[in-house]
Every structure is written in structure tokens, then in C-alpha cells.
With several copies, the nearest count.
Chain A
Amino acid sequence: METSWRFFLLSREAEGMTSAHDAVQVAIHSQPFSATDQLDRWLQRAGSAAAATAVFMGHVRPETMDGAPLEALELSHYPGLCERLLLSFTQQQLSDHGVQSALVLHRVGRLSPGDLIVLVAVSGDRRGPVQRCCSDLLELLKHEAPFWKREWSGGVGTWLGANTPL
């Protein structure tokens, strides 16, 4: 329980972490949030909407990797490092793909089947770059950011050893 508390407190501090210019918004949420509410707020803040916006949302599956019914998905992260990496990946990706703005939100804590895990949105002038940037950012979140998932089923928790294949 102590460990969990430490995570939650640090996560709350990190919520709403935003880079110097508003083009990048990155946050780790320890409580459920609505993808469409967040998306709406971010699109409004951008003022006049960019021509192209690509979005990805990941939700908790109802089954474990082994096909058993999932009770909960526990998500932990390395506070501090994780937020900084997310911000750095996102800024680098915007620059690499030549796109204007991005929103990256990720849940930690105990999630139920159907809950939102991750939201990535990228806006810019051309549909190709925003789609590729959104997809590349998602792969970085999956493979290069210190997040860990534990599946709970039948009262037993199992840490995942690897992500689902692309």
C-alpha cells in the first residue's frame, strides 16, 4: 500500500505537465479520464483546428494475454523519468515529422476492463505526417517509456513480460 501511495502522489504532481510552448501536452493520470473530454479541450485550446488530426486510444481488454477473464489491469511507472521521457519523445517526434502539436495522456493505477489506458493525438497540416507521428509516438510509449502492466485474474497478479504485437 505504501508503494502505491507514493506512486499516486507523484503521479498527481505530474498531471497537466506541459512543455514551454503549448504545442505539447503530456500527462500521467492516476484516475479515470474521458478521452473525448480531453480531446475536446485540447482541440479547443489549439484555437483554429489544424487541417489534420490523428488520434489513438487504447482501452483495457476484457481478457488476459492467456485468454482468462481479466479482473483488473494494474499500471505502474517510474515517476519523474517517465514524464520527462514522454515529453522528450513527443517534442522529438513533432520535430522529426514536421507536425504542430501533440497530446499524450497515460493512465497509471488499477484499471478495469474497458477503461482508457492511453490517448495520443497529433495535429498538423498534412494527413501522412500526423498519422505516422501518432503511430510512432504510440510505439515509443509501448517500448521506451518506463510503464509496467500487471494483469489480475482469479486473484492472482501477473506482470507482463512484453507488449502485444503491433
Chain B
Amino acid sequence: MGETRLSAACTVQVLLFASLRDRAGWSSRPFTLSAHTLCTPQAIWQLLDLGAWPGGVRVAVNQSFVAADHPLNDGDELAFLPPFTGG
């Protein structure tokens, strides 16, 4: 499976919320990883230029929570979510 992923480019739509959105200056953008990089939320994060992986941030892929090393598929919706403060 890992090899399959390494052999194709991966484009995902990245969503940012709240403080992350303000820091980046955008809310939704496509990002593409080359065919030679394993496509995970952590790898995409490196492309965002938002510094080290921030503590407390959760990841959702296609609106389900996943781990930071979850394998992504081309066309996925990937959201980075700062700590929740609702209620």
C-alpha cells in the first residue's frame, strides 16, 4: 500500500479553522505532494509553513477524525482543527 501511494501524486483540499486560519491568512486551499513523498496530514502540514506541528491540533479527513500519520488519498478533504472552545 505504501508503495502505491509513493507512486502517484496526491492533491488534497486543506481546511484551516480559527487561529490557524488567521495565522495562514486563508481558509481553504489545495496542496499537492509529489509522487515520491508519503501522503499524510503530517507531510501536508510541512507544506503549510506554519511552524512545528502544534500541540492540541486535531486532524479530520473527509470529516472524520484521524491520526496525524493517516494515509491520504488524492481528492481528500483535510482539516486542521485547533483545540475546541465551544459550549
The yes or no verdict on A and B being binding partners is yes
Tell me the bound Cα distance from A160 to B86 in angstroms.
Answer: 10
Q: A146-B84, A148-B84, A159-B82 are in contact. Are A3 and B27 (CB under 8 A)?
A: yes
For A80, the chain B residues whose CB sits under 8 A away are 63
For chain A, residues 4 to 21, give those with C-beta under 8 angstroms from any C-beta of chain B.
Answer: 6
Task: Encode B64-76 as 1/0 by CB contact (under 8 A) with A.
Answer: 1000000000000
Query: Which of A6, A149, A150, A159 interacts with B86 by CB under 8 Å?
Result: A149
The answer to whether B86 touches A147, judged by C-beta atoms less than 8 angstroms apart, is yes
For A143, the chain B residues whose CB sits under 8 A away are 84, 87
The answer to whether A150 touches B18, judged by C-beta atoms less than 8 angstroms apart, is yes
Going nearest first, the 8 A-B pairs with the smallest beta carbon separation are A147-B86, A142-B87, A148-B18, A141-B87, A159-B19, A81-B63, A160-B85, A149-B85
The answer to whether A148 touches B85, judged by C-beta atoms less than 8 angstroms apart, is yes
Instruction: Determine the main DSSP class of A at the interface with B.
Output: mixed
Indicate if B81 sits at the interface (CB-CB under 8 A).
yes
Interface residues of B (CB under 8 A from A): 15, 17-19, 21-22, 27, 60, 63-64, 79, 81-87
Indicate if A61 sits at the interface (CB-CB under 8 A).
no
Between B19, B21, B27, B86, the greatest number of chain A beta carbons within 10 A of the residue's beta carbon is seen for: B86
Task: Encode A81-115 as 1/0 by CB contact (under 8 A) with B.
Answer: 10010000000000000000000001000000000
The answer to whether B84 touches A161, judged by C-beta atoms less than 8 angstroms apart, is no
The 13 sampled A-B contact pairs (Cβ below 8 Å) are A75-B86, A118-B86, A139-B87, A145-B87, A146-B81, A146-B86, A147-B85, A148-B19, A148-B86, A150-B18, A160-B85, A161-B83, A163-B85
